[in-house]
Amino acid sequence: MSGTAQIGVTGLAVMGRNLARNFARNGFTVAVHNRTAAKTDALVEDFGDEGAFVAAYTPQEFVEALERPRRLVVMVKAGEPTDAVIQEFAPLLEEGDVIIDGGNAHFEDTRRREQELRERGIHFVGAGISGGEEGALNGPSIMPGGSDESYASLGPMLEKISAKAKDGAPCVTHIGPDGAGHFVKMTHNGIEYADMQLIGEAYQLLRDVAGYSAPQIADIFRSWNTGRLDSYLIEITAEVLSQVDAATGRPFVDVVLDQAEQKGTGRWTVQIALDLGVPVSAIAEAVFARSVSGHAALREASRHLAGPTARKLGKDEAAAFADQVEQALYASKIVSYTQGFHEIAAGSETYDWNIDLGRVAAIWRGGCIIRAAFLDRITSAYEAQAQLPSLLADRSFAREIAAAQDDWRAVVATAVTQGVPTPAFAATLAYYDSLRAERLPAALTQGQRDYFGAHTYRRVDRDGVFHTLWGGDKTEVES
């Protein structure tokens, strides 16, 4: 078998199969391989008319089908399965060849694999791919990390198959070295968790406080999707809320068990944020909210807990409240993105990746799950000031949130008085107030730490590190 394929995909489950088809549809000859030969045959038989495929049934055949430098995309389950595939194929490759992991790998695994393969002269690219199975087929947002040489070889192909923003720009960029791509994809998914939780809280407020039905809430979300909240997640929320269950005739959302699942990337985002010392409270609350939903026995045992007497709103009150929820949702979404970009910036500094935050925002404008109209403005904000310390430091966003804050506070207050849980709305508002506070209670925390553990503190009026001798005459000494 001669090396005629420009790229190869091994692992032909839905994502791998659709990605292979995407490459073929865009004019590339694609070698395809799967541990189970039947999937390889099925792809060629079902979709062979979409482009040029080369079926390979052994690792050797697969590698021989690829032109040099070989570009091999691995689309298997993250963790040990990915390591197993790399160990199987790496001995068959040569210096300058490229292995691309398109799964949701932990970025530390990607850093390890990149170093191990670099020592053998093989490039390793950890490429975050967002957009689900539809995006894989029709154009995802792609976040590749790896060497400059690997992107020179692979980048033009990824740019061709990626989603395109409204201005025609491809939704892919070289994120940075080693694990940078998978780090950014992880954070993307963390923001996605927060976004979905905020939307869920808005839905519950409209249902339980304003008294709207699922179809009515769908209409509200559709109207929101024509304005500044225009986004993929708002769009599909309206579709989900409009769905009617065929078996019962009830709204689909009312027959779905309210126990959410998670695959790990949101949890990783919070864990890494803790390591980096970055507050991502919106993402954390979204992860915890899913966790709470899954503890069915705990929730059942707590049914006896008392709550406030709910007050139903009149028609005009409900409409006004819906407008307030829109303000709160927009402000909270901006804060959640702010926290996500802060984590990316901190990771970039810690690992010396030199990530361009403006380019990250730009490639999220199309293809990915969190694509939203305001990402154009986030892109512009970072292009105008590459070292922008926070999205809330951008005057345009700051003005909008200032205008929204009264309604935002009213929504959180209403949720509290009505007994509706809104952990993400409350967390984003608390974050906003923490940033604008002149003094935080951390001063007291430092005093407590110094009292019981001699952890020392700094002063506002002079330089140095100090400790108070609390057990004696409370003399302050410089450490």
Q: Which of 64, 114, 192, 201 is catalytic?
A: 192
Instruction: Verify whether residue 149 is a known catalytic residue.
Output: no
Radius of gyration of the chain (CA): 25
Give the contacts of 296 (CB within 8 A, at least 6 positions apart): 259
Does the active-site annotation cover 474?
no
CA 226 from chain center: how many Å? 23
Distance CA 448, CA 465 (A): 15
Q: What tokens does 447 get?
A: 């005093």
Strands 141-145 and 123-130: antiparallel
* b/e map 288-299, b = 16+ CB within 10 Å: bbbeeeeeeeee
Return the C-alpha torsion angle 244, 245, 248, 251, nearest 10: -50
Neighbours of 25 (CB within 10 A): 16
Q: Which of 185, 285, 326, 333 is catalytic?
A: 185
Question: Cβ(186)–Cβ(269) under 8 Å?
Answer: yes
Beta strands 98-101; 123-130: pairing state: parallel
- Token pair for 134: 């539809």
**Residues forming a β-bridge with 127:** 144
For helices 180-208 and 265-276, what crossing angle results, to 10°?
Answer: 110
Token couple for 405: 């804050």
CB 327 within 8 A of CB 404: yes
| CA terminus-to-terminus distance, the chain | 72
Distance CA 452, CA 10 (A): 57
Q: Which residues are catalytic, by number?
A: 185, 192
